[in-house]
């Protein structure tokens, strides 16, 4: 990581900064959790790398997060007791149903706070943020620990799609794909009475495109993932943890591309995005929130839901 102590995105020097910068309740809580400091300034460790924004001054805009973890509850309800659900539970996807239900409603404020407090790092696949004076790492290893997903290496020659590149959403010739036609088709009704072949594949596709790699407000199947469902065993053994993490962390770090064009000033682009009225996060950002709850147990006491240890599998 780059060694310096000031903040690149210090908005205190911008005109009318108070119009869009404030200190949130979550941020106040995080500062208070630093037992070794009496003030926000005391919490600053000047040995840490540069930050995106100066301490205690950061955007308070809105996040658009399209991942829907409650889809897991729906699938459990619909497929309960079926052989298809048993197979999903026995795969690496099964660990998702063990996530703590109370911690899973997405807090956009908390996630936005974590992103705004991040440290600049040369590693494009690792996010460093700060709690009080302590840095917190969000990398592939942490993502795998939180989700239980397979985070192994990609098959040789495989590259995950980049949704920041132009045309990434287009499904050219999808109607010609044999698996697409059989699984989705144009007029096929999707009901619980479907045959097992379709039922398990559609359930897996919903998990991937609706929970782990969500990139649009209206979830649509991704052609390459549909094609992969031809070999169900290979699909279940695919490193979906790595795939989801790449999509997740890519939009949290300074972007290399914007609307298909290379970005000249990567960090400034991220600073500007976090100050927009809204900022889109793809992938599975909930993993970062769950990491924060695990690293800072006191945060869990602020969740506005009665204490319980329920997981998705136990939700009624």
pLDDT tens for each residue of 248-275: 998 887 666 666 677 666 666 676 776 6
Alpha helices in the chain (DSSP H): 25-32, 71-79, 83-90, 108-116, 140-147, 178-183, 196-207, 223-228, 232-237, 240-250, 266-274, 286-295, 297-300
**How many whole angstroms separate alpha carbon 240 and alpha carbon 224?**
13
pLDDT digit string (tens) for the chain, length 316 residues: 333 333 434 333 333 333 333 444 454 554 444 433 334 444 555 666 677 665 565 656 667 899 999 999 999 999 999 999 999 999 999 999 999 999 998 888 888 888 888 888 778 889 998 877 788 999 999 999 999 999 999 999 898 776 556 555 556 667 677 888 888 876 566 777 788 999 999 999 999 999 999 887 788 888 899 999 999 999 999 999 999 999 999 888 766 666 667 766 666 667 677 666 667 788 999 999 999 999 988 888 888 787 888 888 887 6
For 17-30, the three-class secondary structure string (H helix, E strand, C coil) is HHHCECCCHHHHHH
- Report which of 216, 218, 275, 283 is spatially closest to residue 244, judged by C-alpha positions: 283
The token pair at 14 is 């911008």
CB 72 within 8 A of CB 207: yes
pLDDT in the model for residue 95 = 96
In contact, 180 and 224? CB cutoff 8 Å: no
Structure tokens at 178: 């044999």
CB contact set of 60 (below 8 Å; sequence gap of 6+): 20, 21, 22, 24, 112
209-227 burial: b if 16+ Cβ within 10 Å, else e = bbbbbbbeeebebbbebbb
Output the pTM of the full model. Answer: 0.79
d(CA 256, CA 34): 34
Contact in structure between 30 and 131 (CB atoms under 8 Å): yes
In angstroms, what CA-CA distances link 186 with 72, 174, 182, 183, 191? 25, 11, 10, 10, 15
Q: Tell me, what's the pLDDT at 13? A: 33
* End-to-end CA separation in angstroms for the chain: 46
């Amino acid at each position: 990581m780059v060694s310096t102590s000031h903040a690149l995105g210090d908005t205190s020097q911008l005109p009318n900064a108070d119009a869009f910068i404030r200190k949130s309740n979550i941020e106040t809580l995080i500062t208070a959790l630093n037992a070794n400091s009496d003030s926000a300034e005391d919490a600053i460790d000047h040995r840490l790398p540069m930050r995106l924004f100066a301490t205690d001054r950061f955007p308070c805009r809105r996040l658009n997060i399209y991942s829907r973890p409650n889809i897991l509850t729906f699938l459990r309800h619909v497929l309960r007791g079926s052989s298809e659900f048993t197979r999903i539970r026995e795969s690496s996807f099964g660990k998702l149903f063990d996530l703590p239900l109370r911690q899973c409603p997405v807090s956009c404020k908390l996630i936005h706070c974590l992103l705004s407090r991040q440290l600049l790092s040369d590693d494009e696949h690792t996010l460093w943020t700060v709690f009080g004076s302590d840095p917190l790492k969000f990398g592939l290893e942490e993502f795998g620990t939180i989700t239980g997903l397979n985070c192994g290496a990609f098959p040789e020659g495989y590259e995950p799609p980049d949704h920041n590149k132009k045309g990434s959403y287009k499904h050219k010739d999808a109607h010609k794909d044999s698996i697409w036609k059989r699984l989705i088709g144009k007029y096929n009704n999707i009901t619980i009475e479907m045959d097992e072949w379709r039922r398990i594949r559609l359930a897996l596709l919903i998990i991937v495109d609706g929970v782990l790699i969500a990139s649009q407000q209206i979830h649509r199947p991704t052609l390459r993932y549909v094609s992969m469902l031809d070999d169900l065993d290979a699909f279940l053994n695919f490193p979906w943890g790595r795939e989801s993490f790449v999509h997740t962390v890519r939009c949290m770090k300074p972007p290399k591309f914007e609307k298909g064009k290379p970005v000249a000033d990567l960090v400034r682009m991220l600073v500007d995005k976090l100050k927009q009225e809204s900022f889109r996060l793809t992938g599975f950002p909930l993993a970062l929130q769950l990491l924060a709850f695990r690293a800072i147990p006191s945060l869990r006491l602020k969740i506005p839901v009665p204490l319980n240890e329920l997981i998705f599998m136990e939700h009624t």
